[in-house]
Amino acid sequence: MGDWEWPLIIFTVLGQIGIGIILMLWWLDRKHDQLDANLFKQGVHMSGGLLILALLASLFHLGHPEAAYRALTHLGSSWLSREILLFLLTFLAWIYLFWMSRQQSGNRSLGLGIVSVLGLLGIASSAMIYVLPRVPAWNNVSPVLFFLLTTGLLGALCTLLFGRESLKAAQKKFLLQWSLGCTIASLLLYVIYATMLSVSIEGAASLNFLLSSPLFWARALLGWFTPLLLLVNLLKNSQVDKTNLILTVTLLAGLGEVLGRALFYLSATGIQITALF
């Protein structure tokens, strides 16, 4: 079984929230002038802060963080090299976006689009690092889908939370619907993923670990079922302005994703030598 990979948990979750926020802003800005200038500024600042924290956290995973720049040297076959390159490019594009947010000029939508596309490619590369033939639980499309769903879910909820003053009712409703869609997709995908795991011995070991872990049930309750009920309730009763409820959903979904990511690393069982030693 794997370990508590705190630097990687923080790096992946925070990075995905940061890029998710930009993605949501891009979507809300698709028809020009629909996005409030202050919201744009707030979103850019928040996503940048999260990206910086994420990149710093990733260094703590390395034995020699001072030599991290060397991780860019094997782009030909290493997904880790590609991930670092794409995250650095995302950050450079974010700097352009930051400059734009201060100047109040330039093509906002284009800037948001570039950061979103580069960020999504970075997230897909992050996930591809774990697609290893040695680890049957990861050697499929699920890491990519899980990482993208975290991006969509937490990006939308965080945008909704900090933009509660400036978002229009229709925009809030869209973000709630999007979050609900991501939560349902995440839950369904996990059910399919769990059924796939039992095909191999190592996958079955991962599944056993998950089902017997209290963390998994906490993740299910806090990260899927409670947010699902709250989101349905918010949408059904048109309570798009209930700040406390939105804050609760965001915190629960965030906690659920952190636990889910921890379980992702903890439950990994690799093919290994089973002889005695």
> Can you read off the two tokens belonging to residue 3?
């370990």
Of 197 and 230, nearer to other proteins (C-beta) is 197
What values do phi and psi take at 114, rounded to 5? -65, -45
Of 30 and 70, nearer to other proteins (C-beta) is 70
Q: Which parts of 217-246 interact with other proteins (CB under 8 A)?
A: none
Does position 81 interact with other proteins (CB under 8 A)? The reply is yes
Of 178 and 209, nearer to other proteins (C-beta) is 209
Residue closest to 183 by CA, chosen among 144, 143, 226, 215: 226
Does position 272 interact with other proteins (CB under 8 A)? The reply is yes
Does position 10 interact with other proteins (CB under 8 A)? The reply is no
Burial class (CB in 10 A: 0-12, 13-18, 19+), 199: exposed
For the CB of residue 139, give the shortest distance to other proteins in the complex, in Å.
Answer: 10
Residue closest to 88 by CA, chosen among 63, 61, 118: 118
For 20-51, the three-class secondary structure string (H helix, E strand, C coil) is: HHHHHHHHHCCCCCCCCHHHHHHHHHHHHHHH
Cβ 246 vs Cβ 230: under 8 Å: no
**Which of 105, 212, 214, 275 is in the footprint of other proteins by CB under 8 A?**
275
- The site string for other proteins over 118-157 (x = CB under 8 A, - otherwise) reads -----------x--xxxx----------------------
Q: Which parts of 203-222 interact with other proteins (CB under 8 A)?
A: none
Rounded distance between C-alpha atoms, residue 231 and residue 172, angstroms: 12
Does position 263 interact with other proteins (CB under 8 A)? The reply is no
How many CB atoms are closer than 10 A to CB 269?
A: 23
**Which of 71, 89, 185, 187 is in the footprint of other proteins by CB under 8 A?**
71
Which range touches other proteins (CB under 8 A), out of 34-42, 73-81, 221-229, 246-254?
73-81
For the CB of residue 65, give the shortest distance to other proteins in the complex, in Å.
Answer: 8
Of 54 and 114, nearer to other proteins (C-beta) is 54
**Which of 56, 72, 185, 194 is in the footprint of other proteins by CB under 8 A?**
72
Cβ 257 vs Cβ 220: under 8 Å: no
Cβ 140 vs Cβ 131: under 8 Å: yes
Q: Count interface residues toward other proteins (CB under 8 A).
A: 32
For the CB of residue 210, give the shortest distance to other proteins in the complex, in Å.
Answer: 19
Which range touches other proteins (CB under 8 A), out of 87-95, 212-220, 224-232, 267-275?
267-275
Which residues fall within 8 angstroms of residue 267, CB to CB, at 6 or more apart?
1, 2, 137, 206, 209, 210, 213
Does position 12 interact with other proteins (CB under 8 A)? The reply is no
213: left (phi over 0), alpha (psi -120 to 50) or beta: beta
Cβ 2 vs Cβ 267: under 8 Å: yes
Does position 4 interact with other proteins (CB under 8 A)? The reply is no
Using CB under 8 A as the criterion, which residues of the chain lie in contact with other proteins when the complex forms?
A: 61-65, 67-68, 70-74, 77-81, 84, 129, 132-135, 268, 270-277
